[in-house]
Structure 1
Amino acid sequence: MKQIINNYSKCIIIVAIMLIGSMAWAGSLKKTELVCRLKTDRDIFIAGEPQNIVLKVSLDAPAAPADISRPAVNLALVLDRSGSMNGTKIDQAKAAALETLNRLGMQDIFSLVTYDTTIQTIVPARHPSSVQEIIHTIRQIRTGGSTALFGGVSQGAAEIRKNLENEYVHRIVLLSDGLANVGPSTPEDLGRMGAALIKENISVTTVGVGVDYNEDLMARLSQKSDGNTYFVESEYDLPAIFAAELGDVLNVVAKNVKVIITLSDNITPVGIIGREGRIRGNRIELSMNQLYGGQEKYALVEVRLPASKSGSKQTIARADVYYENPFTQKQAQSTGTSQVKFSNNPKQVAESANIDVVREYERNLNAMAQEKAIEFSDKGQKKEAVAELKKSAVKLKAAGARYQDEELLEEAKAIENQARQIEAEGMSKKSRKVLRTQSFQMKNQQLLKKE
């Protein structure tokens, strides 16, 4: 009888331990869920007149929990080895590849493609088990030839596709220091490739080195595939940039993100600010391939409100976010709503401003001004380019002063400096790359890393 009681007690203890473990696991999984928030540029709007307002749909991605294994990565590096990469550039590119390899785990997939006039897969897609063999292969890379960039990315995608059906985070990292001059070579060509790759859940991050690569091409490829983009003036920064990019890729907490914003019946959409998306009646649809832990991604939408009575309330919109949780490999959903009030008191309206929404709205408008300045400069209209930047600086400074926001004031100073530099020297290769990269990073909410 005593033995039976002892066995029964052991069973109770085992079950209790299992339950505690299950609860802890469930608690950890709860920490991986996205939070969707909706805010407008102010909480109270003036009554009695129709008006346009800005709606910010934020996706707050939690930090990846330390007690759950991270999602495995399927990574292809595509390195330019054309003649212009000779010397320290190729040495630092190889160091960056080695840095990347050292940070991967045995559950990950690694491949390496190099290109000049021809394309070569020097490390076919594989788990990084024979590290010394891969290191030796990387160190043997030599330069020479032209720049078959399109073919290099295509081959990198082919290596990714070997494991496409499995539950990996798929990413191509492309490095180039020159103009694509073998095969398809326009921004439109690479944009179409990026749009095709994102349909396979493959994102492309582009790293441009020096001042002779085509930033339009690189940015378009990243934009269409929902990757990151970097301008690296000095090749000595390559290992750090690759490490920062891998930090993002190894920290994915949501995949295949779809956002559907449904406006209330009497509210009409005006436009999407800074992002691509679709407007269908009173529905706005956007997508993002991946979100990284601890990051906020957002979409800004301008909508028009009808005239409303003072003291009344209005539900603006509901946002439904659908995504794949890479820790559970299951579909998940998050929802947020937004409601505003109306008043005849201008002071009350002014004091209800949400500075975080205003700030991101102004910064996105500045990003679009940077793009416009590039267009003017490309047409030989330097005065117009400078005027566009100065006008944006004035708006940023005014908003910064109105809301006493240091971030907007600092950004106004930066854009003023850019305008003065272009006014004095014209649009140099470097300044054009800086403007293009900053604009992309702002609109994509890429975590800005020092280059």
Structure 2
Amino acid sequence: MKTPHRFFPHTLNPRSLALLLALLLGLLFVETALAGPLQLQAAFDNDTIYSEQPAPHYLEVLVTASQQTNTLRKRLPLNLALVIDTSGSMRDENKLVSVKQAAIALVNRLQPEDRLAIISYNTEAKVVLPSSPVRMEQEARWLIQSLRADGGTNLGAGLIEGYHQLREFASPRTINRVLLLSDGKANVGITSSAELSRMVLQEADAGTSLSTFGVGLDFNEDLMAALSESGRGMYYFIDRPESMKTILAREFNSVERLVVADIQVTITLAPDLRIEQVFANTFAVNGNTISVRFGDLAAGERRRMQIRFQPSRRGPGAVNKAAVVQASYRTPGGGGSGTLSRSIGLAYIKSQQAIAENMDKEVVERSAVFEANFARKEAAQAYDRGEKKQADSILNRVKKKLEGLAASSSRVQQEVSEMEDYQKGLEEPLPARERALEQKRVKYKSQAIEGC
């Protein structure tokens, strides 16, 4: 008779059995931790510091939504509001035509349990389609096609009506989101960025998120980015109207695959580590504690941020909790909430050679990417203010900082090269449209680098 395969040895002494059980429990714990909806990682660019003359260092924090979690459950019903700018400028370059095509493509992807509201706004807001089940999709397509462009840009009124339409049908068992599409600046009604952001944040706290789509070259990118951050959604820059359909489809994919919501991360550095710069879109600093809002994440999506800090001079020795990182989140669909935490240490040593050998090359390279993009954005803002010398000064300072790294990293070389190209471009007398396009691309890349 064939002997059955045995996983365990024929005999196990009590000590071996205890070790095996501990190993199996450990594997079970790892599997459970990895199976959660959100993973949290934190790492220093180097966990050793030269005690004699400490140089600035970087801490990187990464949150990643699980790829598997979303496959275990049916997609939640969507409760969406399309808020579409129909001001006069939307006639230019077929912007409204492209937006309508993209909106109809979105309607075609909705399922019977979903709801959709359509609001147009110019000088005033108009409810084109009250929040309705998707069985009304034929009417929705016809109403979208009927939109015409004229008048001013009362963005605030459009948002207020969009939230109003969703509120009656919003619940923990639905994904509630407003999609705001605009090509201009808020010039009628509520025009204050701070006031609009407060309204959006209040709605996000109540469970309705917001994603913004800036179309063309005339919209206020600072406002659209700020609103998406307050609304815990995404911000998209659409430089070519014909790409609107693809980008709106990308947003729809994220919404229907939502895994975690309202992600908030708190990082506390040891007192000897002085914060110099935070590379994140939405954050607050209180002493040595940084609070970062990462918003919502779909399956497989991630958000990354870094902190540059200056260690104080001190003797050799370990700092066990140099950084304590905590993350909180909610699970869409009434699945509750969760928290994660991680603490990592540093060691002050006297050996510069050991420090050089201990460097995390990938974190260092990404720190160069953050530095370069932040510098380009600052330079772009300075140039927009007419401060050309200040823009040059910002770029020169950061290029000099990255020169040493560029010698050994092709990725850093690329960042330095792009900075040089941008700086040379500022010297050239470009047509107004080309200049506006370049400035918006630079600012948008800085905003989007968080998801790298």
Give the TM-score category using the shorter length. Answer: 0.7 to 0.9
**Is 1:211–2:217 an aligned residue pair?**
yes
Any conservation in 1 of the 2:70–2:259 contact (CA below 8 Å)? no
**Is 1:178–2:184 an aligned residue pair?**
yes
User: Residue 228 of structure 2: SS of its match in structure 1?
Assistant: helix
What is the Cα deviation at residue 310 of structure 1? 4.3
2:301 aligned residue? 295
1:71 aligned residue? 76
What is the Cα deviation at residue 345 of structure 1? 1.9
User: Residue 130 of structure 1: SS of its match in structure 2?
Assistant: helix
CA distance in 1, matches of 2:356, 2:245: 47
User: Residue 129 of structure 1: SS of its match in structure 2?
Assistant: helix
CA distance in 2, matches of 1:185, 1:321: 34
- The one-letter code of the counterpart of 1:434 is R
User: Residue 224 of structure 2: SS of its match in structure 1?
Assistant: helix
2:91 aligned residue? 86
Q: Deviations over 1:230-279 (max 9, x none)?
A: 22222111101101111222222111222233445665655533343344
CA RMSD across the alignment: 2.8
1:423 aligned residue? 427
Any conservation in 2 of the 1:389–1:415 contact (CA below 8 Å)? yes
- The one-letter code of the counterpart of 1:376 is A
CA distance in 1, matches of 2:358, 2:33: 36
Tell me the matched-pair count.
417
CA distance in 1, matches of 2:241, 2:310: 48
Q: Which one of 363, 367, 376 corresponds to residue 382 of structure 2?
A: 376
> Relative to 1, partners in 2 of residues 1:180 and 1:55: Cα closer, same or farther, differing over 3 Å?
same
**Is 1:61–2:68 an aligned residue pair?**
no
CA distance in 2, matches of 1:390, 1:255: 39
> Relative to 1, partners in 2 of residues 1:398 and 1:245: Cα closer, same or farther, differing over 3 Å?
farther
> Relative to 1, partners in 2 of residues 1:69 and 1:96: Cα closer, same or farther, differing over 3 Å?
same
**Is 1:191–2:200 an aligned residue pair?**
no
CA distance in 1, matches of 2:169, 2:445: 33
1:145 aligned residue? 151
> Relative to 1, partners in 2 of residues 1:394 and 1:78: Cα closer, same or farther, differing over 3 Å?
farther
Any conservation in 2 of the 1:386–1:420 contact (CA below 8 Å)? no
Q: Which one of 119, 133, 146 corresponds to residue 125 of structure 2?
A: 119
Unaligned runs of 5+ in 2: 1-30
What is the Cα deviation at residue 288 of structure 1? 2.6
> Relative to 1, partners in 2 of residues 1:33 and 1:210: Cα closer, same or farther, differing over 3 Å?
closer
CA distance in 2, matches of 1:205, 1:397: 37
- The one-letter code of the counterpart of 1:138 is I
CA distance in 2, matches of 1:180, 1:212: 11
2:345 aligned residue? 339
2:257 aligned residue? 251
- The one-letter code of the counterpart of 1:439 is S
CA distance in 1, matches of 2:414, 2:329: 35
**Is 1:165–2:156 an aligned residue pair?**
no
- The one-letter code of the counterpart of 1:429 is A
Any conservation in 2 of the 1:39–1:57 contact (CA below 8 Å)? yes
Any conservation in 1 of the 2:174–2:333 contact (CA below 8 Å)? no
**Segment of structure 1 superposing worse, 371-380 or 91-100:** 371-380
> Relative to 1, partners in 2 of residues 1:169 and 1:389: Cα closer, same or farther, differing over 3 Å?
farther
What is the Cα deviation at residue 94 of structure 1? 0.8
Q: Which one of 47, 52, 76 corresponds to residue 43 of structure 1?
A: 47
Any conservation in 1 of the 2:172–2:334 contact (CA below 8 Å)? no
Q: Deviations over 1:157-180 (max 9, x none)?
A: 222322333333332221112233
CA distance in 1, matches of 2:376, 2:286: 29
What is the Cα deviation at residue 223 of structure 1? 2.9
Any conservation in 1 of the 2:79–2:166 contact (CA below 8 Å)? yes
TM-score normalized with structure 2 length: 0.83
- The one-letter code of the counterpart of 1:353 is M
User: Residue 233 of structure 2: SS of its match in structure 1?
Assistant: coil
1:96 aligned residue? 102
CA distance in 1, matches of 2:398, 2:276: 21
What is the Cα deviation at residue 51 of structure 1? 5.5
Q: Deviations over 1:382-424 (max 9, x none)?
A: 233244334434544543324x2x3332222222222222211
- The one-letter code of the counterpart of 2:414 is E
CA distance in 1, matches of 2:359, 2:378: 28
**Is 1:409–2:413 an aligned residue pair?**
yes
CA distance in 1, matches of 2:330, 2:129: 30
What is the Cα deviation at residue 97 of structure 1? 0.5
TM-score normalized with structure 1 length: 0.83
CA distance in 2, matches of 1:233, 1:270: 34
Q: Deviations over 1:104-145 (max 9, x none)?
A: 223333211111122111122233122222212222222222
Any conservation in 2 of the 1:274–1:368 contact (CA below 8 Å)? no
Q: Deviations over 1:295-336 (max 9, x none)?
A: 221332344545555474633122222211226612122222
- The one-letter code of the counterpart of 1:247 is N
User: Residue 254 of structure 1: SS of its match in structure 2?
Assistant: strand
Q: Which one of 335, 359, 368 corresponds to residue 365 of structure 2?
A: 359
CA distance in 2, matches of 1:295, 1:217: 24
- The one-letter code of the counterpart of 1:80 is D
**Is 1:441–2:428 an aligned residue pair?**
no
CA distance in 1, matches of 2:228, 2:71: 29
User: Residue 223 of structure 1: SS of its match in structure 2?
Assistant: helix
CA distance in 1, matches of 2:276, 2:425: 35
CA distance in 1, matches of 2:344, 2:350: 21
Any conservation in 2 of the 1:253–1:327 contact (CA below 8 Å)? no
Q: Deviations over 1:357-402 (max 9, x none)?
A: 2233332323332332233223322233244334434544543324
User: Residue 222 of structure 1: SS of its match in structure 2?
Assistant: helix
1:228 aligned residue? 234
